[in-house]
A and B are shown apart, each in its own frame.
Chain A
């Protein structure tokens, strides 16, 4: 096979690997745009956030915390905490990017997300990762996420008051579903219990945004204690 053929084959493989994840992200992106519009973000702001941040969980949390004017400190802190897992993901992925130039690494890692990371890790077990494969996964995923969340914002703004349809509760339900996706047994149970109680208490006693910090720290402490107890 010539070099051009290899690149073409890798592009095709990347596309065929990412499309189920991209399709699954369609309703999530629409929902994100609609909820963001309900908090007063414009379609342009929603699209820009999708392109620049490109992190579903952190973006949903940000919109839930959103107020006017935006509480920048709380938003950035919550984003950093939720995306802290990327540190471990990229540390594991970087040694597998041997065929990448420095620029390709810096650009390619910008849009590393749970889905394309997991697919790349899976592929790296059998074949070396190539830039063609990686960027073929990235480009349609990013374009789809950005355009559909922007569309969701346009549609959501037209729907009006989200509370009328119970849509204000969609966040809570969505986050409960996301927590289930991160579930790892007993340790997660104690994490969730400690975080929920501490956050609700801090919300009552100190108000936002302190509930996020209190909940996150107590949840982490509970995980540390529960994981230690498990080993004995």
Chain B
């Protein structure tokens, strides 16, 4: 059971900002009226951040990773979460062996 103090600080920082987003509604409820456009931008935050996090791995590592990312994206149109992960992992292992 090891707890690194620097890691602990990072986890606490993540916890504080997350809790802040969850109780923000207590102050905002009934006062928040977003325009349709602002709402669309707000809805786009999670995919924008998720893609920004993985883009280096998917687009700037090698052809095997880019190919596997494309296959995973195709799989994501039809398959559930875990199946997409399996397709992506199998594809990257196969492509790394081939390329």
A residues with a Cβ closer than 8 A to B are 27-28, 31, 41-45, 48-49, 52-55, 57-59, 61-62, 64-65, 69-70, 72, 75-76, 78-95, 105-106, 109-110, 112, 165-167, 169-184, 187-188, 191-192, 194-200, 203-204, 208, 211-216, 218-220, 222-224, 226-228, 230-231
Contacts and interface: CB of A to CB of B under 8 A. Distances in A.
Given A87-B21, A170-B85, A195 B52 contact: yes
Given A177-B85, A187-B40, A219-B47, A200 B59 contact: yes
A169 B89 contact: yes
Contacts of B82: 27-28, 31
Nearest to B58: A172
Interface string B50-79: 111111111110000100110011011101
Contact of B10 (A75, A106, A188, A191): A75
Interface of A, helix, strand, loop or mixed by DSSP: helix
A199 B52 contact: yes
Nearest to A52: B15
Interface residues of B, number: 73
A172 B57 contact: yes
A203 B83 CA distance: 29
B36 A176 contact: no
Nearest to A176: B72
A41 B7 contact: yes
B50 to A, nearest CB: 5
